[in-house]
Amino acid sequence: MNEKKTLSNQKYDKVRAACVKALVLLEQGESLDKAISLAIDDQEFRPIDKRFFQQLVHGTIKMRRRLDHEIKFYLAKPSTELPLKLKNILRLGFYQLHFTDRIPDAAAVSESVNLAHVMTDAGKAKLVNAVMRSAIREPEKVVFAKKEKEPVRYLGDFYSYPDHFVEYCLEEFGFLATKNLLIYYNEAPKVTYRVNFLKAKPDEVAHMLTENKVEFSFGKYLPEFLRIESGGLPLELELISTGKVYVQDEASGLAVRLMNPRPGNSVIDLAAAPGGKSTYAAIRMRNKGRVTAVDKTQERLEVLVGNAERLGVKIISPVISDMYDFKGGPFDRVLLDPPCSGWGAAGKHSDLRWAKSTEDVTKLAKIQQSMIGRASKLVKPGGVLIYSTCTIIRAENDKIVEDFLAKHKDCEIESAKEFFPDELVSEKGYVKTYPSVGKYDGAFCVRLKRKEHA
């Protein structure tokens, strides 16, 4: 009997079943987006069901190491590898027990047992029941490494991160700051609205949010950014669909403010889609000048064009091209936001912590070094190059810039202190943000000026 027919004849929760399906597909090698799409495409979930699904899937993925650590204390043979469906039913069940507020323990157990009955067999359902009930009765069975003796293992197990990232953070920030960073990335992510000056003013949007009892706070460095303190996308039809706001973290906007594009400038964004920075630059230019938006894929550029149209941006010229093949320029302003490990926005990408390795960072750094060299050739004498990432890893940030400047004597750093307060700017003039400090995504950007006469 196939799985679909079995499920149709049994009592079970379809949302949780879809969660297990997504978790299994992800572990089998599908991308997270594809796994989620395959899991819910044939389901007619209500909006509330979709939100519940998202909460459970993303939370379970984030906390995978912690969940696996706890589950093993209640297994007769903890070193034995569990079948994929059973393992993910238990993960989902333990996540509901320990990391959700509104699901009673009894419901978490019964729903997990139901799933095991219909997705595995009666024997495995009995195991799920015994393990979860034991976890409720005997929470003291779970122990963690001593943080004083094994800080990497303790933090990795307790907050659910790979050892290599914990090791990096401990060396870079110390124990307390690392702990705060890991905690922040495990929280439910908040969205930020960037007000579109072409269609609205920050006070107007703030008034609409207040009228609808939506809690928010103004950006600390960029007042046109409004951080939504509640969940979801409030007033989506009134604000996002009309182009009055664009969803973008304030940390991402800092690179554009640092670039300081002026009306009439020629600007190029070399990895432009989906258009957050390109459209922000165009809006700061008051729709005067030209923003050339380069990206390798037509599909991604079509998203950018759609975003620009919705925002009322009229000065973006999309170009389908690899940046190495692009013919044009030079430009007043060049923006390079290359592919990076994404460790600055790990809270918004639940699978990132399990998908990126130290080898990936090494490979990305080589690509970034090549890309910044190419980007510099498109800058006019006296013009500006902005190098920007959404990672907190030095090898992709400081090291890239230092190596670049050693090879390109015609460029120099212009300190970001002209644009931002000292607290945001490093000694060398870089902009750096950390989620555990200001509740922003982690980001890096630097302003490099090409000398008039090399």
Q: Which of 207-211, 318-322, 366-370, 450-454 bottoms out in mean pLDDT, i.e. has the lowest?
A: 450-454
Task: Specify which residues 320 forms β-bridges with.
Answer: 295
CATH number at residue 59: 1.10.940.10
Same domain as 56, residue 7:
yes
The mean pLDDT of 260-276, rounded to a whole number, is 96
| Terminal-residue alpha carbon distance, the chain | 74
The answer as to whether 372 is a domain residue is: yes
Q: Around 337, how many Cα atoms within 13 Å sit in the side-chain half-sphere?
A: 27
Same domain as 255, residue 241:
no
H helix runs in 63-188, sequence order = 64-71, 84-99, 105-119, 122-137, 151-159, 163-173, 175-186
Query: What is the predicted pLDDT for the residue at 9?
Result: 56
pLDDT at 2 over 80: no
CA distances, 324 to each of 83, 189, 204, 315, 406 (Å): 46, 35, 43, 23, 22
Please give the share of the chain, as a percent, with pLDDT higher than 70: 97
Same domain as 256, residue 240:
no
Tell if the pTM clears 0.85, that is, is over it. yes
Query: What is the predicted pLDDT for the residue at 10?
Result: 67
Query: What is the predicted pLDDT for the residue at 54?
Result: 94
Same domain as 378, residue 323:
yes
**Nearest to residue 389, comparing CAs of 412, 361, 354, 408?**
361
Query: What is the predicted pLDDT for the residue at 6?
Result: 47
d(CA 258, CA 293): 18
The answer as to whether 170 is a domain residue is: yes
A 10 A CB-CB count for 136 gives 12
The answer as to whether 114 is a domain residue is: yes
Q: Give tens-digit pLDDT for 214-249.
A: 999 999 999 999 999 987 899 999 999 999 999 999
Same domain as 446, residue 348:
yes
Same domain as 40, residue 62:
yes
Q: What is the 3-state secondary structure (H, E, C) of 302-343?
A: HHHHHHHHHHCCCCEEEEECCCCCCCCCCEEEEEECCCCCCH
Q: Give tens-digit pLDDT for 157-169.
A: 999 999 999 999 9
d(CA 274, CA 284): 18
The answer as to whether 168 is a domain residue is: yes
Spatial CB neighbours of 203, under 8 Å, sequence gap ≥ 6: none
* Number of domains comprising the chain: 4
Q: Give tens-digit pLDDT for 383-424.
A: 999 999 999 999 999 999 999 999 999 999 999 999 999 999
Written as six digits, the tokens of 40 are 């819910």
The answer as to whether 349 is a domain residue is: yes
- The three-class DSSP label of residue 448 is strand
Same domain as 357, residue 288:
yes
Same domain as 287, residue 225:
no
The answer as to whether 56 is a domain residue is: yes
Same domain as 129, residue 212:
no
Query: What is the predicted pLDDT for the residue at 41?
Result: 86
Same domain as 28, residue 101:
yes
The answer as to whether 146 is a domain residue is: no
> Helix 175-186 vs helix 163-173: angle between axes, to the nearest 10 degrees?
130
CATH number at residue 283: 3.40.50.150
Look up the domain containing 9 and give its range.
Answer: 3-141
Please give the share of the chain, as a percent, with pLDDT higher than 90: 91
E strand residue ranges, 13-97: none
